Amino acid sequence: MTSTADTDTVPTLHLCSDDFAEHERLTAWQELLGCKVQRVEAKPLAETPFHFDRRLYDLPDLLMLVGPVTGAQYCRPKSLTESDDLAFSIRSDSWWISQFGREATLGPGDANLHSHSAVCAATMPASLHSHGAVCGRTVPASNSIWLRIPAAAIAPLVPDLYAVVARRIPAATPALQLLVSYLGLFRNGLGLTTLGLQRLFATHVHDLVAMALGATRDAREIARGRGVRAARLHTIVEEIKQHFADPQFSPAAVAARLRVSPRYVQDLLQETGMPFTDRVTALRLEKARTMLESEANSHRKIIDIAYCCGFNDLSYFNRCFRRRFGAAPTQFRGERVD
């Protein structure tokens, strides 16, 4: 069990059953996560040992729990009920939940909302390493996500909020897909180094959850201008970081991947003050500089490095490089001329 609580990072707690003796695992999970965080009790399925490897992120008005846990029957007895908080769950395998007299059977990638204010029951499958196809993609069990959100954060956005408790939210729901993508960016290193950024991130998550649940028309407009646009912007930036070195990379390529229009991509980036072309060029130049300074590339011609970074024209590369760094590419190789 490890934790971080630095002022410049999101407080994180890593809990793994490998840190406990086999006979202590269920008790440890119950004390550290079951009672305090998820407010449930677990009864492991007989055919599998109890195992968990979960990471807890503590953000303002948002707890996020990710990672696998073996199959079990879960229940929230009356002694663990509490008001206000809601749980939004996304799993990569099939599962079942019951609350408020309603039942839902969910498939891989589906989501569900339930309330901490009432008893509930759920059954998760036994296979820790099961895989499921989510919207055409294979998603491992470790991609399971659990969010704890104050009801007050999304109740104004969703009409009759408790009517959607224990209802299946299909994996193909666009807002749900966007939410999963946005959370993935955070887990892959999206920096939230100030409390203000952490609060903004949590607000975006609240908006996307509300959209997935069926926000009102007014709330959808708010979310589009806040959570949805922010999530899409981060997704666009991530696409650029992954593909900028492709000479054929364009706004149309990003738009096709994200199923939006090229104009939408351009407009979102323009709002950041760094349009598509400027952003791509900056990344290409930084990569070129890194390659030029590396001894491992000392044998490579500058034209080859330029092409490797996405530039098709050596003269254009030289002009951009000099404008960006105030010196010619050869000067970053100790005056080596190729």
Confidence of residue 130 (pLDDT cuts 50, 70, 90): very low
pLDDT in tens, 84-122: 799 999 988 888 999 988 999 999 899 999 999 899 999
Confidence of residue 229 (pLDDT cuts 50, 70, 90): confident
What spatial distance separates the first Cα and last Cα of the chain, rounded to whole Å? 53
DSSP, collapsed to helix, strand or coil, labels residue 75 as strand
Range from 32-46, 190-204, 229-243 carrying the lowest mean pLDDT: 190-204
Confidence of residue 149 (pLDDT cuts 50, 70, 90): very high
Confidence of residue 47 (pLDDT cuts 50, 70, 90): low
Question: Sheet of 85-90: strands edge to edge?
Answer: 2-4, 12-16, 53-59, 62-66, 145-150, 85-90, 111-115
The percent of residues above 90 in pLDDT, for the chain, comes to 29
| Rounded Cα gap, residues 66 and 71, in angstroms | 15
pLDDT score, position 321: 93
**Distant-in-sequence, close-in-space partners of 96: CB < 8 Å, separation ≥ 6:** 103, 104, 105, 106, 122, 123
| Rounded Cα gap, residues 287 and 291, in angstroms | 6
pLDDT score, position 3: 53
Question: Residue 2: exposed, middle, or buried by beta-carbon count in 10 A (0-12, 13-18, 19+)?
Answer: exposed
User: What is the average pLDDT across 263-291?
Assistant: 88
pLDDT score, position 316: 94
Question: C-alpha 132: how far from its chain's center?
Answer: 18
pLDDT score, position 271: 75
Domains in the chain (CATH in brackets) are 2-273 (2.60.120.10), 284-333 (1.10.10)
Q: Is the pLDDT of residue 311 over 90?
A: yes
pLDDT score, position 315: 93
This prediction has a pTM of 0.63
Range from 54-63, 254-263, 301-310 carrying the lowest mean pLDDT: 254-263
Query: Pseudo-torsion of CA 104, 106, 109, 110, nearest 10°?
Result: -20
In angstroms, what CA-CA distances link 302 with 292, 293, 295, 307, 320? 8, 12, 13, 9, 14
pLDDT score, position 287: 93
Q: Encode burial over 39-70: b for 16+ CB neighbours within 10 A, e otherwise.
A: bbbbebbeeeebbbbbbbbbbebbbbbbbbbb
